[in-house]
Amino acid sequence: MDCESHNVPVLQKLFSKLGSKWSLLILIFLEQNPPHIRFTELKRQIKGVSQKMLAQTLKELERDGLVARQMHAEIPPRVEYSLTELGKSLLPVARGFAEWALKNETVIEQKREEFDLRFAD
């Protein structure tokens, strides 16, 4: 794939959403909980995400067509999330990125420490 200057705005827009702190993680956790998962269970599984951030990110992923939200008219209300076909098509990229990050975590941390030592005041 060649990146051309006229593609930059499209790529920036998509990369900014998919490159957010939680988007790819949410997609991976949705994959691990087929066919759907409740909001509270998803929050419990994803350590460190706030309720507000999870809700916001799920809404953005739903808006982009990557996640489906189903609300059940019960008391208390029950909301479940699942991957759409479009979301599933992104999983190889999400998994690949996660695998790369875990494989290279130590090296990256070492390089950061070396950099910080070189440029410390």
Mean of the pLDDT values across residues 59-85? 94
Per-residue model confidence as pLDDT tens digits over 94-108: 999 999 999 999 999
Percent of the chain with pLDDT over 90: 76
For position 30, which CATH number holds? 1.10.10.10
Cα 45 to chain centroid, rounded:
13
Count of structural domains within the chain: 1
> Quick one: tokens of 111?
């390089």
Q: Residue 27: pLDDT above 80?
A: yes
109/121 Cα distance (integer angstroms): 20
Q: Residue 2: pLDDT above 90?
A: no
Mean pLDDT of the chain: 92
Mean of the pLDDT values across residues 31-41? 95
Mean of the pLDDT values across residues 31-45? 95
* Domain ranges, residue 100: 5-118
SS3 state at 3: coil
